[in-house]
Amino acid sequence: MPASLIRITRPLTDDERIEVRRRDRYSRLFPGATMSTLLLAGSASVGLLGGLTGAVIGCAVGLGVAVWLFASDRSLGRAFQARLDRDLERGVVEILEIDGVDDDEVQAVSPAHSAVYPAFLLDLPENHSLVLLGEWLCDPTIYGGTDEHLAYDEEEAEEYAALPPPLAFPARAFAIHRLPESGNVLRVELRGDYCRPRGSNEGHDLTGINDMESRLVDCPTTEFERYLDNVSGPA
């Protein structure tokens, strides 16, 4: 039995508008620039072990991959920014109120060929699914907390998928305040106890959908892999 979903809307507040502009969401969704820098430095370091020729080859390979990642990020970034601008122009926040999440009903998606992590997948009524992905899931301020909630030991890190209590997510009931077109998540209200997600048996290539923090998908979780094969843009 899938969890229940109620969708309502409210106006975007001035404070939220300022916060959306302030937050560096682009760097969390599209980490290619940082990856490019690390890749280039790593290639050069490895190349140095093989002498001057190896260093030159290593830098050339690293630079080529870095340019490709940067171009990909710019393309995704322009599309994302256009959707975000339309959301801010409309000034509407969508609230997804979700209740009745059972144990192991949330799937922790294991990304393959993608830097997106963590990622969760949840069955919703009428053969729909909710996809949540990105580092924002581990941001305590999204749940009304502070950076103090980041400090936890290795045992808690293994027990909880994103953050430890009292901000443990996913929960049996929660509400997501988001911008509907860009998928930007403004905040999450935790309304229930922690619900441990089940693990994914195989990695999913999330590259085609990593431009949105939250996404409603027109298929059940059992057909998610087929959806990823056919996806061509945001849903």
CA-to-CA distance for 141 and 150, rounded, in angstroms?
10
Rounded to an integer, the average pLDDT of 2-16 is 96
Rounded to an integer, the average pLDDT of 43-66 is 58
What one-letter code names the amino acid at 70? F
Q: What is the pLDDT of residues 102-161, one digit of tens each?
A: 877 898 887 665 566 788 999 999 889 999 999 899 999 999 999 888 766 777 777 888
CA-to-CA distance for 184 and 90, rounded, in angstroms?
14
pLDDT score at 104: 74
CA-to-CA distance for 134 and 115, rounded, in angstroms?
9
CA-to-CA distance for 116 and 227, rounded, in angstroms?
17
pLDDT score at 52: 64
pLDDT score at 70: 46
Q: What is the pLDDT of residues 39-52, one digit of tens each?
A: 555 555 555 555 66
The vertex-215 CA angle with 78 and 175, nearest 5°, equals 125
Query: Among 71, 72, 73, which Cα is nearest to 30's?
Result: 73
User: Is the CB of residue 58 less than 8 Å from the CB of residue 47?
Assistant: yes
What one-letter code names the amino acid at 91? G
